[in-house]
Amino acid sequence: MVLQPVTSPNGASHSVQSIPVALNGRVLETNRRMPLNLDWADQVRVNTSAVERRAATHCARRTVKKDTQAAWLLRAIACMDLTTLSGDDSADRVRRLCAKARNPLQRHLVESLGIEELRLTVGAVCVYHAFVETAVRALEGSGIPVAAVSAGFPAGLSPLAERVDEIHRSVESGAREIDIVIARAHVFNGEWQALYDEIAAFKEAAGPARLKAILGTGDLMTLRNVARASWVAMMAGADFIKTSTGKEMVNATLPVSLVMVRCIRDYAERTGCAVGFKPAGGIRTARQATDWLALMKDELGRPWLEPSLFRFGASGMLGDIERQLEHHLTGRYSATYRHPIA
């Protein structure tokens, strides 16, 4: 298997790590806020038909099987933000989700695959602010970070001061990652300075927590808008750019993801800073997981297959990955209900 264990200072295994990142032989730094360069946003051009062709051929030309497929699926688990963002969430559901995050695969699968030493966990658990403290307590000692959706999720339309205060409260409650959502009207109106100032304020409020900027790409109408918003978010200091809240009519797609990861690559070449990527919403199958992992490998290289730079926003996908791993071991697909998430 290609997945390597990650061990925290207290001996607990977890998935988030800081690694030296290089692109084309150049060692990259953690992203930091820099002055807004409107030329970079204005000069963006996207050939939509070319992007769509590239995304279509990406899925058609590659497949992985047997041990290689199993290894890629284990990598997908390590890069997963196990998420519950439902209106009927409860403390008990969050605790069950955290138990699954600690042990994402059933014991018999771990033993049959021979991966006990990996001490595999997911990348993070993502919840509403109201459940941050519950998740932090449930994950104590595991090293798994809690990510909180903040800043008026999912619409991003509450007053700025309230959104900033929510971030402060999530960090104080123990969240180590903050998933914020931008006000999409700034993109529609070409208000790039306002968008920059908004994300910069969120970044400052997050302090030491990792900031993931959700662009709501299904609402942005054009791939050029997606690219320009990506550039502004990265210049404002976002540690990750993320496709969707999961609440839009259209969420993560490969064409949108291709545009965003190429923005990340161009940004790294211009600034020497590494930004992570998180597709979220609508990713439910093991095959989709390998499609996105392959996209990251092709476009950005091996360093972007680590949880420090790549995450899936998903929950249902984990059950399908378990079913695929069981098929790999037994040649039979198990029933979905045998792989509960929460």
Does 12 fall in a domain?
Answer: no
Least confident residue range of 136-140, 260-264, 329-333? 329-333
The closest of 329, 251, 307 to 283, measured between CA atoms, is 251
Query: Does 67 qualify as catalytic in the annotation?
Result: no
In the set 179, 219, 239, 291, the catalytic residue is: 179
Does 312 fall in a domain?
Answer: yes
Does 15 fall in a domain?
Answer: no
Is beta strand 80-83 parallel, antiparallel or unpaired with respect to 273-274? Answer: unpaired
pLDDT of residue 341: 67
In the set 81, 203, 278, 320, the catalytic residue is: 278
How do residues 257-310 score in pLDDT, each as one tens digit? 999 999 999 999 999 999 999 999 889 999 999 999 999 999 999 999 999 999
Does 292 fall in a domain?
Answer: yes
- Global pTM exceeds 0.95: no
* Residue 167 DSSP class: H
pLDDT of residue 17: 42
In the set 212, 239, 242, 320, the catalytic residue is: 242
CA distance 1 to 113: 9
Query: Does 212 qualify as catalytic in the annotation?
Result: no
Q: Which amino acid is at 102?
A: R
- Contact criterion met (CB below 8 Å) for 82 and 101: yes
CA distance 88 to 267: 39
Task: Pick 7 or 194 by higher pLDDT.
Answer: 194
- Contact criterion met (CB below 8 Å) for 58 and 298: yes
Does 141 fall in a domain?
Answer: yes
pLDDT of residue 216: 94
Domain count, the chain: 1
CATH code of 143's domain = 3.20.20.70
Residue 320 has pLDDT above 90, yes or no: yes
Residue 4 has pLDDT above 70, yes or no: no
How do residues 215-239 score in pLDDT, each as one tens digit? 999 999 999 999 999 999 999 999 9
Q: Which of 47-61, 205-219, 314-328 has the highest mean pLDDT?
A: 205-219
Does 20 fall in a domain?
Answer: no
Does 263 fall in a domain?
Answer: yes
Query: Does 247 qualify as catalytic in the annotation?
Result: no
**Structural domain harbouring 317:** 29-338
Mean pLDDT of the chain: 90
How do residues 69-111 score in pLDDT, each as one tens digit? 999 999 999 999 999 999 899 999 999 999 999 999 999 999 9
Does 160 fall in a domain?
Answer: yes
Q: Please list the alpha-helical segments (H only) found in the chain.
A: 38-42, 48-60, 66-78, 91-102, 107-113, 132-138, 160-172, 185-188, 192-206, 223-235, 254-271, 286-300, 316-330
pLDDT of residue 294: 93
